[in-house]
Every structure is written in structure tokens, then in C-alpha cells.
Structure 1
């Protein structure tokens, strides 16, 4: 996985800001919006390029293209808000942006180094939300080493006049989402919380797609386990459970942050937006139940696979024992007549040798028939 969890922070905390009020710092001149016609989201690693993917000011639902250095001032003058999209910024770059927008340094540190659990934090009049993203990896055939999904992260800073999205990972692009949102000016009029809703909804919808794709893999493995042919699927099942754990880590901790946005009064989330977040919460609960069900089903399939393997081993041992018993009888007869004692019955008879062979054959046939009846052969 790209980003396994390393820190175990609580999902929701209320933290008082200790930073003093000061005028916004100037942004570095290297931060520039993407050129006209260029894609707003990038997939490959930055390799030292500009972290700014897109920057715009939204006034009454309409987009105004501005440079990052002037965006905040324009937003305050026009009564709108800034949406600044970043891709894997360095510590120095995000620190400069944080000083310009008044972001809390602890949240900035989390956004730089990522590896966070989904959570929602309050810092005075701002919010910081972490969302883990997931993407299904297509494969021709599931093996014990197949990579089923990859994860990344999206951090969202929400203030009264700005929203800053920080993306980590090679998937989860927000360019198409931004375009779709710009076609809904009535929703954008609700301010930065509308962007937070759109991102959360986008992430949870991706979870649904991933869960449905994983469910198809689970059904394929289940069919293989219970097929008439003899297969060993324990390695594939274990790999699926391991990959599914990554999705659980992304989905389950998201329940409390979404519940907070729905239930707790928040001046950054208008009353009109709560129903939107409630819809996202319903989808997240659906994914949670689906992922939990898949995990339990995989556990049952793994137990069935192990039981079938054990049963097959027992059948093999019975067959081996049956053939060993059949072979042991003529071996015993031949061993007795191979002792070469002088006084043994039938040694001087012409029919002794064929009679011994006939006894061996009849004995083997009788044992074979008996083992067949009992199901050992």
C-alpha cells in the first residue's frame, strides 16, 4: 500500500489555536496556477514542480481565475472564497501557504507528512479534515501476491474565506470534481463547506466502487473454493483480507467526522449543507456495512477452504492406507514362502506356485472391493 497508517490520532478534536494574529505572509513567487489548457490535476509525482494544481476565487458561485498570491485578497474584496488545490507540497511550500492563510502549524505538519487516519479537527474559526482515498487495481487474475487496491490521502483546510485541498497519492484527482461543482453555482454559494462536501462525497463514492470491485473478487474466490476441482485458495483469500483491511482503515474512522459535521452546530457549515453531509454519511455507513460483510464472508470462506484442504488430505491418507493394505497381503504371502524352509506345505506340488498367485490375486480383489464399499477408494 502507498500509505499504511502510522499515527493513531483521534478522529475529532477541538484544539485552541496558540498562534498570534498577524497579517498574511506573502506567497513565494514560484507558486503559479496551471497554464491555460493544462490539466488541473496531475497523476505523476511532482519531481520538484509547482505544487499548485489549480487556484480560483468563487463569488456567488462564479469562478474567477487569479494567481495564488492575490487570491485571498480578491476573495475578501469580492465576498467570495478561494479554492486552492495542491499536490504533495513540500514542508517549506505548505508552511508559506499556511502563513499566508493563517493555517494552524499542527494541521500543516499533518498535511505535509500525511499518513493520518480520517479525522476532523477544529482550530478556532477553521477546520481541518483528513480523508483517505482508495482506488481498485485492475488485474487479470487474482493471485496470492496481487495488489488489489492502493490508498492515498486528501487533506482539506476549511476557513471562512478559503478552502485548501492537499492531495497525496497517484489517484484521487479533483479536476473533474471541480469542473462538475462549478456547474452547480447554487451549491457553491454555500461557501467553502460546499467544496468539503463535494470532496467527501467524491471519496466515499470511490469507496463504493472499490467495495463493489472487491466483492467480485470475493465471489470469484468463493466459486473456486466450492468448485468440484481441487484448489488451494488460502493464499488468495488471505491476500484479499489483507487488502480489504486497508479499505476498512479508510472507511470506518470516517463515521465520526461525518457525524460531527451532521449533528454538531458549526458556523463553517450552514444549516443547508447538513443534509448534504447526511447523504455522504449514509453512503459511508453503507460502505462500512459492505466492507464488514465482505471481511466476515472472507473469514468464512477461509475456514471452508482450510476444511476442504483437511478433508482432501484425509481422503488421500485413506487411499494410501487402502492401497498399502492391498499390497501388504501378497507381500506377506510371498514373504512366508520365501523363507525357504525344507518342510513347508505345497513346496513339492506342481500347482503350488499358480495357487499362491491365485490366492494373492483373489485376496487383493476382495480387499479392493471392500475398500470401495467403504469409500476409501
Structure 2
């Protein structure tokens, strides 16, 4: 657990339930709010500069129109308070909205459907995760992104052009689109993860170094973080497919089932990624052992060559008085020649055995 997470949790301890306190690491100064109103006949997008501005615009919309309030950045706690009071959203729900460490989940009651998901992404080769929340009823959907940029900006264009399906559907279809986009984003993360793993695997086979161990640990942490955010998503989608909420129409079930199918495929990819990280550790240890074995082989060959040479040098280095070879005129060069021949014979032998 990081120090920032520990400090955030400590600041929350002792507070009464429903205390609105932002828990997260995103340095967002200002929240951005947009209101999108649409049905088969109308399509409007409004930039919201205050809560009163939002109330005024909502009062002018038709009751049967779908209203999508998209909030980018969750540090404007006062705006969320006013939003909760206006739509009668419990502070317990808003508390989870503000907690970026909240596990993905779904809550169902008579007034709202509440969903928490995570959107993983790579930011300059660093794995990051975004906390997203959705509060929905029959004609209203509030999406809150703990981010600086609007991940759903392309959805607005799809609504504008979606006369065939999008504009005829209710908020459950909009929820499907947002969830499906977040789930599909895992594919991009896994692609990036696989590229990093394959590059590291090639490096481990040919040039393993001590620093590679920390790279493997980073990949392992990434897989664990992905698993913590991906697995609970299955529970959310299963609940939506079973229509446990009255706000999910029968016509939208087929779309949520498609997203569930994507999620199940991602679970298989996740397991493959976990196995890949385990294999990277095995390759690293094997490569290091092979490298050590190569060093030991070289030292063994050198020692084997010098054993007979050391024996000869030691034999004629003894201080006995009667050693006739010491008196020979050609004794010294002959001894060197024998030592050279022994070395040459051993080298040829090792070459034939493919030990060198």
C-alpha cells in the first residue's frame, strides 16, 4: 500500500458514515460538467458553470428526454452535495464516488442504480487506473470520472448521429455504452502489457541483468491491479443481465450480455498474462543460472589445463639433490615444450567435446 493511500485512509478513520471526503491522487483543480439532453427529436449539449445553471437547464427539458450529466473531476465536493440534495442521492453513495480506492460494485434501490467501475490505461509507460461512477434512473444518468480529460467525449458524437438506435433508447443503453467502452479499454492495456512482456522476455533470454528483476515485479503489480479491478466487473454485468434493477429494460439485456462476453474473454487474457509474468521470473532465474554456469565452465577449463602444468612445475621445484633432468642442457626448453603440448592437447580435446 502506498504512503498516499495510507494517509488517505487514516484521514477517513473515525469519520461518520456518509462523510464526503475526496480520497485519491489526481491533482484536479476544477471539475468540468456537461449536460447532454436527447431523444428522437432533440439533441443538446450544454457546458455547466454552476449548479444553478444546471437546475435551470434541467427545468426546461422534457420529462421523457434522456438527461446525461457528465462530471470530469470529483474534487468539487460542494457541487456533488448540491447534486445529491437535488436528486435525493444518499451521502453514502456520494462517499463511494469520492473514494477512488473503492472496489468496483453495483448497488440497486428503488430510486437509483449505482455502479462503480475502473478504467485502466498506460500513461507514459506507467500503469494508471481511473475511478468512474454512474448513478442512473429511468431518464437520468450521472457519470463521474476521476480524471482530468473526458474519456467519453466521443460518445456525444455517437448520440448526435445515433438516430437509428441511440436516440430511441433510454438511459440503460447509455449506461451500456459507457460500461462497454471502459471494459474494451482493458484490451488496449493488455496489448501494451503484452508488448512490454515480450520485449522483456527477449532481453532476459540474451542479456539478463539485475535491474530486470524490478521490471518483472512492476509487471506483477500491474497484473494484480488489473485483476482487482476487472474481476468485480463480472458481478456488475451479471446483475445487469439478470435485470435485478427495474431501470434495465429487456431490450438492453442483449447489449449488457455482449459486454459480459467481452469481460469473460478479458478474464482469460488476464490469466494468460499472470502466467506470462510467472514465466518471466523463471526465464530470469534460468538465464542467470546459465550465465553462472558459463562462468563456472570457463574457470573449470582453466583450472583443468593448469592442473598438469602445476604438477610438472611442482615436481621440478622440489629441492632434491639427485634430479638428473636438472643437469640436462635441454631440460628447461623440453619441459616447456611438454607443458605446451599438454595445454594444446587439452584445448583440442575440449574443442572436440564442444566445451569451449
Aligned twin of 1:63 = 43
Aligned twin of 2:277 = 298
Aligned twin of 2:67 = 82
Aligned twin of 1:336 = 315
Pair 1:159–1:5, CA change in 2 (3 A) = farther
Aligned twin of 1:100 = 86
Segment drifting more, 210-219 vs 154-163: 210-219
Tell me if structure 2 keeps the 8 A contact 1:133–1:153.
yes
Return 5+ residue gaps in structure 1 as ranges. 7-17, 20-43, 140-146
SS for the counterpart of 1:116 is coil
Provide the C-alpha distance between the structure 1 equivalents of 2:272 and 2:3, rounded to a whole number of angstroms: 24
Q: Whose RCO is larger (CA < 8 A, sep 6+)?
A: 1
Provide the C-alpha distance between the structure 1 equivalents of 2:153 and 2:71, rounded to a whole number of angstroms: 11
Provide the C-alpha distance between the structure 2 equivalents of 1:154 and 1:264, rounded to a whole number of angstroms: 21
Tell me if structure 2 keeps the 8 A contact 1:152–1:171.
no
Aligned twin of 2:50 = none
Provide the C-alpha distance between the structure 2 equivalents of 1:4 and 1:243, rounded to a whole number of angstroms: 18
Tell me if structure 2 keeps the 8 A contact 1:3–1:152.
no
Aligned twin of 2:59 = 73
Provide the C-alpha distance between the structure 1 equivalents of 2:158 and 2:191, rounded to a whole number of angstroms: 24
Tell me if structure 2 keeps the 8 A contact 1:91–1:109.
no
How many residue pairs get matched? 329
Provide the C-alpha distance between the structure 1 equivalents of 2:144 and 2:320, rounded to a whole number of angstroms: 94
Following superposition, the deviation at residue 61 of structure 1 comes to 6.2
Return 5+ residue gaps in structure 2 as ranges. 7-16, 19-25, 47-52
In angstroms, what is the RMSD of aligned CA positions? Answer: 2.9
Provide the C-alpha distance between the structure 1 equivalents of 2:82 and 2:208, rounded to a whole number of angstroms: 58
SS for the counterpart of 1:347 is helix
Provide the C-alpha distance between the structure 2 equivalents of 1:275 and 1:2, rounded to a whole number of angstroms: 40
Tell me if structure 2 keeps the 8 A contact 1:114–1:153.
yes
Aligned twin of 1:22 = none
Tell me if structure 2 keeps the 8 A contact 1:255–1:281.
yes
Pair 1:123–1:265, CA change in 2 (3 A) = closer
Asked whether 1:133 is paired with 2:130, we answer: no
Of 162, 173, 176, the residue aligned with 2:140 is: 162
Deviations 1:150-200 (A, max 9, x none): 211111111233211111134562122222123224324332212211110
Following superposition, the deviation at residue 3 of structure 1 comes to 12
Provide the C-alpha distance between the structure 2 equivalents of 1:361 and 1:235, rounded to a whole number of angstroms: 48
Following superposition, the deviation at residue 315 of structure 1 comes to 2.4
Asked whether 1:181 is paired with 2:142, we answer: no
